[in-house]
């Protein structure tokens, strides 16, 4: 064997021993990865040797190649073994940390944290409708034009489709303008009979004032069965408001037009901020529009794959944000999305004077 071959063999052996030593010394996975790359990476030392085999005399290339490949395999095995040791040590440490944590230990201080008023009201409503046999359904906030408009019987030229009313996205979809978009999705999935509520965030291109925001929360309700009537709708709405406010509230039902219901109604409640005397929140009318509702339009039932000659139903879109304002005496809707911590005090302390209007 020539001196050049002997030098190459010695170099390979030295690199192999250094690699094994560095692998054993690595105490983290990152350190191990860095060491492995210095030997086995694209520009690593062993790969440099393999690339240099072509410069050797032909009679030496086979021997050096075999030697280098054996060394590479040994280095790969030692790094793999060390990686398994480090991963096992990390898993053991995680188990030990988990064993030391007891989630049943009470908090050291009382009153830490609080739910948002909208979350509180949403959970109350979910509990009420859960007792009535409704399930909670969800849908995407980035919605298709079909589910947000067409399947809800909203024709192409309807003003709601204008850029002035809706946030249109570059991919042709929209930020949903109402949770009603969940209606046909639920019909397609569950069929009839059907009882769902669908809480969620909605978006509209609104001029912001004390009672309007471009981002707000709604809760859609939908009940489909045989022989459902307006009487069922009114009874459920009264029960809902009584449960939320824990007392009787004064309501009024007036005709309203919505393409996805027929007939349609606006259900208003007496303004809880001013007691009906008139204020900026209710626009001096004494009433707050809170529950657009009505009987599901036959066309919407057809879009959902349900026969309108066999089934009827009612739907409503409850303004969760407005309902939370009424329940807790919050005078300005802009507080709800402002990050104002005064809106996050414990619910039992949340009263009118606590939340100031945004100026």
**Domain edges within the chain:** 3-99, 117-354
Q: How many CB atoms lie within 10 A of CB 74?
A: 14
Tokens, residue 193: 């009979």
pLDDT at 302: 95
Tokens, residue 290: 């809170």
Bridge partners (DSSP) of residue 168 are: 174
Residue with tokens 């619910």, as numbered in its chain: 347
Write out the DSSP string of 197-216: EEEEEEE--PPPBTTB-SEE
pLDDT values of the chain reduced to their tens digit, one per residue, 359 residues = 344 666 667 777 788 888 888 888 888 888 888 888 887 777 777 777 777 676 777 777 777 777 777 877 888 888 888 888 888 888 888 888 777 777 777 766 665 667 888 888 899 899 999 999 999 999 999 999 899 999 999 877 777 666 557 888 989 899 998 899 999 999 999 999 999 999 999 998 877 777 778 888 999 999 999 999 999 998 898 888 888 878 887 888 888 888 899 999 888 888 877 888 888 878 888 888 878 899 999 999 999 999 999 999 999 988 888 888 888 888 888 888 877 777 775 444 443 333 333 32
Q: Which CATH class is domain 117-354?
A: alpha beta
pTM: 0.60
Q: How many CB atoms lie within 10 A of CB 289?
A: 17
Tokens, residue 159: 């003003």
């Amino acid at each position: 064997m020539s001196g050049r071959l002997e030098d190459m063999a010695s170099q390979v052996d030295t690199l192999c021993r250094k690699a094994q030593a560095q692998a054993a010394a690595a105490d983290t996975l990152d350190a191990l990865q860095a060491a492995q790359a210095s030997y086995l990476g694209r520009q690593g030392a062993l790969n440099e040797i393999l690339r240099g085999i072509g410069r050797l005399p032909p009679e030496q290339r086979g021997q050096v190649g075999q030697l280098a490949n054996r060394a590479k395999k040994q280095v790969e095995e030692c790094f793999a073994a060390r990686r398994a040791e480090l991963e096992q040590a990390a898993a053991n440490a995680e188990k030990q940390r988990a064993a030391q944590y007891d989630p049943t230990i009470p908090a050291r201080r009382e009153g830490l944290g609080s739910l948002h008023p909208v979350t509180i009201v949403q959970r109350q409503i979910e509990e009420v409708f859960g007792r009535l046999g409704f399930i909670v359904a969800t849908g995407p906030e980035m919605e298709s034009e079909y589910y947000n408009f067409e399947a809800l019987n909203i024709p192409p030229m309807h003003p709601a489709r204008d850029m002035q009313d809706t946030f249109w996205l570059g991919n042709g979809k929209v930020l949903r303008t109402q949770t009603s978009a969940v209606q046909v999705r639920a019909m397609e999935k569950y069929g009839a009979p059907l009882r769902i509520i669908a809480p969620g965030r909605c978006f509209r291109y609104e001029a912001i004032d004390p009672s309007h925001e471009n981002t707000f929360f709604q809760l859609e309700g939908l009940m489909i069965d045989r022989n459902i009537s307006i009487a069922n709708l009114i009874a459920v709405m009264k029960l809902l408001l009584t449960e939320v406010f824990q007392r009787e509230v004064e309501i009024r039902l007036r005709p309203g037009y919505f393409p996805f219901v027929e007939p349609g109604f606006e259900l208003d409640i007496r303004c809880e901020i001013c007691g009906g005397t008139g204020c900026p929140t209710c626009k001096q009318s004494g009433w707050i529009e809170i529950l657009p509702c009505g009987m599901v339009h036959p066309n919407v039932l057809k879009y959902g794959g349900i026969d309108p000659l066999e089934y009827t139903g009612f739907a409503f879109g409850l303004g969760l944000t407005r309902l939370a304002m009424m329940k807790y005496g919050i005078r300005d809707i802009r507080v709800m999305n402002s990050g104002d911590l005064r809106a996050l005090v414990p619910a039992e302390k949340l009263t009118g004077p606590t939340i100031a209007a945004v100026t």
